[in-house]
Amino acid sequence: MTQERKLFGTDGVRDLANSGNMIPELALKLGRSFIRYTHGRKIVIGSDTRLSGRMLEGALYSGISSEGADVYLAGIIPTPGVSYAVKALNADGGAVISASHNPAEYNGIKFLGPDGCKLSDDDELAIEEVLSHDEHSTSPNVGRIYDAPGLVEDYARHVASLLKPEAAVDRVAFDCANGASAMSVPVLVSATRFAGLSTQIISCEYDGLNINKDCGVMHMDTLTRYVRDKGLALGFAFDGDADRVLVSDSRGRIIDGDILLWVLGRWLKRSGNDKVVVTVMSNMALEAHFADEGITTLRCPVGDRYVLEMMRETGAGLGGEQSGHIIASEYTSTGDGLCTAMLFLNAIHDLGEDVSTLVDRFGRYPQKLTNITLTRPRENVDMAAVNEIAAEYESRVTNGRIFIRTSGTEPLLRILVEAPDAGTVESLSAELASRLEEYC
């Protein structure tokens, strides 16, 4: 792709709600442009719990139906739930209204294809091109709007069916981040052996303004403290749209996406899946562990769409990110926090894993991520100069690396430093942050 997208980032169009690029007028045009580009006739729409969600939903389905496409409104449902519904209904695509891990004042729109996967960069660029020539609809046909709240329960029961009954663990907590999983997790629990165990569901009382607030994957201390204080075996935390999951062990330590991949990679290798796709952010210890297990590690840019693209290109059955986006292609088409949680439980049961020792045995390299707020548009950051400086510093590190990128969802420059020695990581991170301020 040679042209830079202007509206779409790494996870759809995202901005402060009712401001900038996330206003009803643009949502309507995005819906109309999506249909004009894809020619879809049957579309599923879902959202998380943000107050602005219903406002944007009305505008989005108005644009879609004005082009003659029928819309199925799933209501509050995880992003992977929309993906599941698209395939279950044999729909032509889907749209999710969510800003994922961002605070409640943000919102976003991302589109899915008929396979339930996020659209490619080229598809999003094409939608932007259609939108730039937007005109009022002249179609004589108006699509129908259907309320389809049963899709949430269908999705949750599907995920529940993935869990082996014997793999359900007593004394488990689920942190729903006051987000989209708040509608799905109670159904999942009631449909599994968890219903008869000491299962706790927290951060499940959304009010439109408290999504991701002091809970979920963005504030893991809420879950880790709860698990530790209640004497639970482990806990799962999701983000606002539940396409990510992180885990707390019984000692209140975080099991991140890298450790989840380490466990799932070994489990899936039993069925012949010996390739795993990770992003440039994954810890170097993961690659070393996989090498010991005869598993090939493949790296790609940050973003679960790029993970999926490389999985398809290479035939890898598993891929994911340190942040907790995990895709197991046999089970899901996109990052799915609830699905990953069930597969993780299956894996630790089948492998005989002691969850409380995973963090110790993983032995990650010291790693630090520093964020610098951008005062200019990300496309105006001189990344050539930034990468030249990064290379200069990386030459000073033995068996380490430095990776710098602009965020696709927030106005930030992200600096990742990784090395065998924690002191080196700290000093290089501080020096780089100071040196790069002028480029931000």
Residues that are catalytic? 100
Q: Please state whether 352 falls in left (phi above 0), alpha (psi between -120 and 50) or beta.
A: left
Tokens encoding 196: 């008869």
Cα separation, 264 vs 270, whole angstroms? 10
- The residue count of the chain comes to 440
Cβ atoms of 65 and 145 closer than 8 Å: yes
Q: Which residue is associated with the tokens 């949680």?
A: 341
What is the DSSP secondary structure assignment for residue 135, as one 8-state letter?
A: -
Angle at the Cα of 216 (from 260 to 192), degrees rounded to 5?
Answer: 65
Q: Which of 211, 271, 280 shows the shortest CA–CA distance to 241?
A: 211
In terms of DSSP bridges, do strands 93-97 and 106-112 run parallel, antiparallel, or are they unpaired?
antiparallel
Cα separation, 189 vs 203, whole angstroms? 15
> E strands along 161-261, which residues?
172-175, 199-202, 234-238, 245-249, 254-255
Cα separation, 375 vs 193, whole angstroms? 51
Letter for the amino acid at 369? L
* First-residue to last-residue Cα distance in the chain: 25
Q: Please state whether 53 falls in left (phi above 0), alpha (psi between -120 and 50) or beta.
A: alpha
Identify the H or E element spanning 310: helix 304-314
